[in-house]
């Protein structure tokens, strides 16, 4: 599968490296030229066979597009690629936006919802925003199982994303489908609690687990 990741920050590079090592053809889409990107920062991704090109070229023949850009600029970054280029594609959204005061940039409508509303022909699935980048690709590093969530309208797109999560090491019983894209609000709003927990325990390396009642 060809995966295009928009965004060359730590999250984008971490996911790119992991999916490339699991056998996918991965390309990073960047507004900066390859020469302008730090070779030190990209070393792991490049060693894994990840390519780097402009976003439009990267998206053109991608099976899945991953939004790993900052949530405050995600819609404009996707708009620059173009509605037609994103039509019909699965878009895995891992973005969360924060304002200058540290609050959420999308307090009433999630970024996932805004992307789906702006690009109605794109099949948006929100996931992986409740864990840090290291746990995204190493769910087995915890003492016990953790839960990761899916939000989106398209069942086939969710099935595709479920397979990509499995490639990162997430077992099927660790994935909880919350429902439509409106449920992405809960995933994104958890970022505030996440920061509080991280400060309390002095680490970002933790997960959460949905524990059902006995007998459920």
* Structure tokens, 22: 């699991």
Q: Is residue 206 part of a domain?
A: no
User: What sign results for the dihedral spanned by CA atoms 119, 120, 122, 125?
Assistant: positive
* Structure tokens, 35: 């020469």
Q: Give me the residues paired with residue 81 across strands.
A: none
pLDDT of residue 35: 47
Q: Is residue 215 part of a domain?
A: no
Torsion from C-alpha of 188, 193, 195, 196, nearest 10 degrees: 170
pLDDT of residue 16: 96
Domains of the chain: total: 1
Q: What is the pLDDT along the chain (216 residues), one digit of tens a residue?
A: 999 999 989 999 999 999 999 999 999 998 765 545 666 677 888 888 999 889 999 999 999 999 999 999 999 999 999 999 999 999 999 999 888 888 888 988 999 999 999 999 999 999 999 999 999 999 999 988 999 999 999 999 999 999 999 999 999 999 999 999 999 999 999 999 999 999 999 999 999 999 989 976
By three-state DSSP, how is residue 139 classified? helix
User: What sign results for the dihedral spanned by CA atoms 196, 134, 97, 36?
Assistant: positive
Q: Give me the residues paired with residue 129 across strands.
A: none
Q: Is residue 157 part of a domain?
A: yes
pLDDT of residue 32: 66
Q: Is residue 154 part of a domain?
A: yes
Strands ordered across the beta sheet of 90-93: 51-53, 25-29, 2-6, 64-67, 90-93, 123-126, 148-152, 175-179
Q: Is residue 135 part of a domain?
A: yes
Domain of residue 149, residue span = 2-201
Q: Is residue 121 part of a domain?
A: yes
CA distance 61 to 213: 45
pLDDT of residue 216: 67
pLDDT of residue 69: 95
Helices (H) and strands (E) in the chain, counts: 9, 8
Closest CA to 131 of 143, 146, 144: 146
CATH of the domain at 108: 3.40.50.720
Q: Is residue 213 part of a domain?
A: no
By three-state DSSP, how is residue 153 classified? coil
Q: Is residue 211 part of a domain?
A: no
């Amino acid at each position: 599968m060809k995966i295009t990741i928009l965004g060359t920050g730590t999250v984008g590079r971490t996911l790119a490296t992991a999916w490339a090592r699991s056998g996918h053809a991965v390309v990073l889409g960047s507004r900066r030229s390859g020469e302008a990107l730090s070779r030190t920062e990209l070393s792991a991704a490049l060693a894994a066979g990840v390519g780097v090109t402009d976003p439009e070229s990267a998206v053109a023949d991608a099976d899945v597009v991953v939004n790993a850009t900052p949530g405050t600029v995600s819609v404009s970054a996707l708009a620059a690629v173009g509605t037609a280029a994103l039509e019909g594609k699965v878009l895995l959204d891992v973005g969360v936006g924060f304002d200058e005061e540290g609050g959420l940039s999308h307090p009433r409508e999630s970024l996932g919802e805004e992307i789906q509303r702006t690009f109605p022909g794109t099949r948006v699935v929100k996931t992986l925003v409740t864990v840090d980048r290291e746990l995204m690709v190493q769910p087995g590093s915890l003492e016990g199982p953790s839960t990761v969530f899916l939000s989106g309208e398209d069942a086939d797109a969710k099935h595709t994303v479920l397979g990509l999560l499995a490639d990162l090491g997430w077992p099927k019983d660790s994935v909880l489908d919350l429902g439509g894209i409106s449920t992405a609000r809960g995933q994104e709003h958890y970022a505030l609690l996440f920061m509080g927990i991280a400060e309390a325990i002095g680490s970002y390396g933790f997960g959460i687990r949905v524990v059902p009642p006995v007998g459920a």
